[in-house]
Amino acid sequence: MKISKLTDSISLQRSVEQANVDHLTTVRQVIEDVQKNGDKALFAYTEKWDGAKLTSLKVTQNEIDEAFESFDGQLIQDLEEAATNIRAFHSKQSRQNIDFPLAKNSYIKYQITALDSVGLYVPGGTAAYPSSVLMNAIPALVAGVERVVIVSPPSKEGKLPASVLVAAKIAGVTEIYKVGGAQAIAALAYGTDSIPAVDKITGPGNSYVALAKREVFGKVAIDMIAGPSEIAVIADETAYADEVASDLLAQAEHDRFACSILITTSESLAEQVALEVEKQLKQLPREEIARASIENFGHIYVAESLEQAIDAVNELAPEHLEIITKNAEAVAEQVKHAGAIFIGRFSSEAVGDYFAGTNHVLPTNSTAKFSSGLCVDDFLKKTSVVYYSEEMWKEQYPKIARLARMEQLEGHARSVESRSWNKGDLN
Amino acid sequence: MKISKLTDSISLQRSVEQANVDHLTTVRQVIEDVQKNGDKALFAYTEKWDGAKLTSLKVTQNEIDEAFESFDGQLIQDLEEAATNIRAFHSKQSRQNIDFPLAKNSYIKYQITALDSVGLYVPGGTAAYPSSVLMNAIPALVAGVERVVIVSPPSKEGKLPASVLVAAKIAGVTEIYKVGGAQAIAALAYGTDSIPAVDKITGPGNSYVALAKREVFGKVAIDMIAGPSEIAVIADETAYADEVASDLLAQAEHDRFACSILITTSESLAEQVALEVEKQLKQLPREEIARASIENFGHIYVAESLEQAIDAVNELAPEHLEIITKNAEAVAEQVKHAGAIFIGRFSSEAVGDYFAGTNHVLPTNSTAKFSSGLCVDDFLKKTSVVYYSEEMWKEQYPKIARLARMEQLEGHARSVESRSWNKGDLN
């Protein structure tokens, strides 16, 4: 792993491939086809791309129950405990309406309501992470979304992974469809006979899925389109090199474009971590992926001071930040920008990825400067309500009319004045 | 104005022009030029497109003070009162950190912090609305954004409208630059010597500005790209036709693509409103614009019942909704989707456009189903924080490791287990 002195210019930018133009053409055709031909198009694409010849898209209650009964009991218990933790923390994020009384029996209000329906995309194969099912579905359900739907591509045998069905059941989702790719996104956005449309689509997916989400954005809402994952670790001489190395590698094993950065005030830790990374890499099942990530995007920086390290992290605004130093909590308080912060050596990122209760869908690529991880807010919307009584109107309308005329919007001025036209002695 | 019976299929969709490809090419060139040549490019474009030969972009305190002193005293007072109302209501939207204690001295937290910096685009000429300056700047300042910047294209004489400078001063913004168009957006996103970059850009603009915002999205955050404005009015036989007509026209005078819809249970009101619209149109300074809007997109629907009217509105999810009926508050409670609701005949939309305290930047084109008007939340971000004590880790890590292995992420499992490697009797 590369080691260098920390200078001013460090970055998370990775040269990720540009969107493939051929992919975009395909995606647009698929969306048009699903809009025109509905379920027929869904069955055809599922046969063509997933090799599954289906007669019905919806997963039956029977299939869900079977998956649950055949699944490892210990893992079910672990998933249930994780779900309980996630539900508990996200429930704290619920919002209250705001009532704001004005003079003369008037008021304004802020009405906070849940979206009606949300679709969650779950990738197929080895990327079907049950933890992501929990992290996406639970905030929507806590927000009060009445209809939460999962779509996921089936295997050749026409089945979804048991782990996905189990996680869905634990989260509380029972409307699940065997359809993936751009065709699933099109179905969620425009609706078919089998799959009524939803108002928002969340969840990760391959480049076809990401492109399709961009295409339907505006017709429905979408979550962020996340870039590859990343971690920054701030550590001083009190950190154990093997632990820091294992955390850097946990990030690197995600994919080749993942980015793991260590910023340390200890030159000796820097050297030991580099050795440990190499040692642990050789024993990692996903060595090839992790090695590519570490070689291309991994970096150890030696900082002159903790302050310099913190400044650099605030510039980076990393998705994940671990702080393994003396007085780690005090250091955390100086961090302004990060998706999630993990304090001390016993809070490795995996604690939050799976279990603590915080969300693992987080802003990547320095966007933590201005955006946040997935949360209950993402499934709520706010409507403002205005009520002016006659007395209030009488007092205020001349001001409103003057402001409208200042902007040369005479029609606006007349609309507030119209309440007195020919209606007796109102003004 | 067209009158028809309310059927199931009513819509706000307007065939708005597709993004102009030539415009996009220009916008991309401008952004590249500003990234490369900084202020030099800004001066050149400002001379080319605004006809102003500037030597400095920043508005001086002197210019702000002069604008203020020369401005109508009554209007200053009206703007100040509007700002006070907007500030009061938006202050109620402030958020608290969430502290969530766990067992064994552990905790998770949700840290809510303001963005560092925000840029507000203010269009030039007659579209320079001081009310929009208040509506965009105040929520950011209430959120706690330390640096709020305004950019706006200068006149040929190198000046900004006095009303914009006055509204900025009242809102509390003093960093103002004389630059508009795509070049202003590029400067805000990438920074120049005169204009340090910001983290988020909000505010309306012409098609060049909208395209530039889309292009820099990801480097910085942007607000929604709003479509043309719209209003739906639900009214029964208790409504006055002249008042309803004036409210429909206030919307229509905005632009040719604005959309005004009345849904009424009274056939006689429908007919009277149609006559009133024609009568009032002839006396409106912006008659030409309002007439085009009414003829192309205006519509009066006669509903069989109030329930049918409410269902239709929930399908429409209009930007603005006025309810002028008996028991208007009870009707409002049945509305699920709208940007803003105005209750009763004394709460015309202009009350909220200018004065009541709610925001006038609202979701258009049925997106109120899943999105909200501009608010304090738009200038806040949330960071989750996880702290596990040694005891907590010892109890929980086997579960976390099992969940990671279930997802075949061995590196994740090892990272939580590493805390016990060779370190004595921890597990």
pLDDT tens readout for residues B18-37: 557 788 899 999 999 999 99
Residues on chain A touching B401 (C-beta within 8 angstroms): 350
A–B interface: beta-carbon pairs under 8 A = 347
B164 vs chain A: nearest CA distance in angstroms?
A: 11
pLDDT at B19: 58
By CB neighbour count within 10 A (0-12 exposed, 13-18 middle, 19+ buried), where does B206 fall? middle
Q: Do A336 and B113 touch (CB under 8 A)?
A: yes
A412 vs chain B: nearest CA distance in angstroms?
A: 5
Encoded tokens for A403: 């402001």
Encoded tokens for A228: 């590859």
Candidate from B337, B386, B418 with C-beta closest to A352: B386
pLDDT at B6: 92
- Please give the residue of chain A at the shortest CA–CA distance from B423: A240
Provide the pLDDT confidence category of residue B126 given band limits of 50, 70 and 90: confident
Residues 6 or more apart whose CB falls under 8 angstroms from that of B296 comprise: B14, B256, B257
Distance separating alpha carbons of residues A137 and A149, to the nearest angstrom: 9
pLDDT at B15: 62
Q: What single-letter DSSP state applies at residue A371?
A: -
pLDDT digits (tens, 9 = 90+) for B380-389: 999 999 999 9
Through-space distance between the first and last CA atoms of chain B, rounded to whole angstroms: 78
Given a contact cutoff of 8 angstroms between Cβ atoms, the answer to whether B287 and B296 are in contact is no
- Residue A337 is labelled as binding a ligand: no
Written as tens digits, the pLDDT of chain A (427 aa) is: 999 999 867 887 776 555 577 888 999 999 999 999 999 999 999 999 999 999 999 999 999 999 999 999 999 999 999 999 999 999 999 999 999 999 999 999 999 999 999 999 999 887 789 999 999 999 999 999 999 999 999 999 999 999 999 999 999 999 999 999 999 999 999 999 999 999 999 999 988 999 999 899 889 999 987 788 999 999 999 999 999 999 999 999 999 999 999 999 999 999 999 999 999 999 999 999 999 999 999 999 999 999 999 999 999 999 999 999 999 999 999 999 999 999 999 999 999 999 999 999 999 999 999 999 999 999 999 999 999 999 999 999 999 999 999 999 999 999 999 998 877 655 4
pLDDT digits (tens, 9 = 90+) for B195-221: 999 999 999 998 899 999 989 988 999
Distances (CA, A) of A30 to A27, A151, A198: 5, 16, 18
SS (H, E, C) chain B: CCEEECCCCCCCCCCCCCCCHHHHHHHHHHHHHHHHHCHHHHHHHHHHHHCCCCCCCECCHHHHHHHHHHCCHHHHHHHHHHHHHHHHHHHCCCCCCEEEECCCCCEEEEEEEECCEEEEECCCHHHCCHHHHHHHHHHHHHHCCCEEEEEECCCCCCCCCHHHHHHHHHHCCCEEEECCHHHHHHHHHHCCCCCCCCCEEECCCCHHHHHHHHHHECCEEECCCCCCCEEEEEECCCCCHHHHHHHHHHHHCCCCCCEEEEEECCHHHHHHHHHHHHHHHCCCCCHHHHHHHHHHHCEEEECCCHHHHHHHHHHHCCCEEEEECCCHHHHHHCCCCCCEEEECCCCCHHHHHHCCCCCCCCCCCCHHHCCCCCCHHHHEEEEEEEECCHHHHHHHHHHHHHHHHHCCCHHHHHHHHHHHCCCCCCC
pLDDT at A427: 44
Residues on chain B touching A402 (C-beta within 8 angstroms): 74-75, 78
Q: Do B414 and A249 touch (CB under 8 A)?
A: yes
Residues 6 or more apart whose CB falls under 8 angstroms from that of B166 comprise: B67, B68, B71, B75, B76, B79, B130
B127-150 average pLDDT score: 96
Encoded tokens for B65: 């003070």
Mutation to test the B interface, candidates A75, A200, A219, A388, most B Cβ within 10 Å:
A388
Residues on chain A touching B162 (C-beta within 8 angstroms): none
Residues on chain B touching A348 (C-beta within 8 angstroms): 415-416, 418-419
Candidate from B98, B359, B385 with C-beta closest to A341: B385
- Annotated binding-site members of B for Zn(2+): 251, 254, 353, 412
B282-290 average pLDDT score: 97
- Annotated binding-site members of B: 121, 183, 206, 229, 251, 254, 320, 353, 407, 412
Given a contact cutoff of 8 angstroms between Cβ atoms, the answer to whether B39 and B143 are in contact is no
Distance separating alpha carbons of residues A405 and A407, to the nearest angstrom: 5
Q: What single-letter DSSP state applies at residue A420?
A: G
Question: Which residue type occupies B392?
Answer: M
| Catalytic residue set of A | 319-320
Question: Which residue type occupies A284?
Answer: L
- Please give the residue of chain A at the shortest CA–CA distance from B164: A407
Higher pLDDT, B15 or A34: A34
Q: Which helix (H) or strand (E) holds A131?
A: helix A130-143
Rg (CA), chain A: 26
Distance separating alpha carbons of residues B199 and B184, to the nearest angstrom: 14
ipTM higher than 0.85? yes
A339 by DSSP, 3-state: which? coil
Candidate from A290, A346, A403 with C-beta closest to B354: A403
pLDDT at B427: 44
pLDDT digits (tens, 9 = 90+) for B35-72: 999 999 999 999 999 999 999 999 999 999 999 999 99
Structural domains of chain A sorted by starting position, each given as residue range(s) with its CATH number in brackets: 21-222 (3.40.50.1980), 228-370 (3.40.50.1980), 388-420 (no CATH)
A391 vs chain B: nearest CA distance in angstroms?
A: 9
B302-324 average pLDDT score: 96
- Residue A183 is labelled as binding a ligand: yes
Through-space distance between the first and last CA atoms of chain A, rounded to whole angstroms: 78
pLDDT at A218: 85
A191 vs chain B: nearest CA distance in angstroms?
A: 15
Q: Is the dihedral of CA B195, B197, B198, B200 positive or negative?
A: positive
B49 vs chain A: nearest CA distance in angstroms?
A: 24
- Annotated binding-site members of B for NAD(+): 121, 183, 206
Cβ atoms within 10 Å, residue B45? 22
**Which residues is A394 bridged to in the sheet?**
none
Residues on chain A touching B351 (C-beta within 8 angstroms): 386, 388, 393, 396-397, 400, 416
Given a contact cutoff of 8 angstroms between Cβ atoms, the answer to whether B370 and A200 are in contact is yes
Q: Do A339 and B383 touch (CB under 8 A)?
A: yes
pLDDT at A224: 80
Candidate from B98, B243, B419 with C-beta closest to A93: B98
Closest CA to A299 of A365, A348, A233, A368: A233
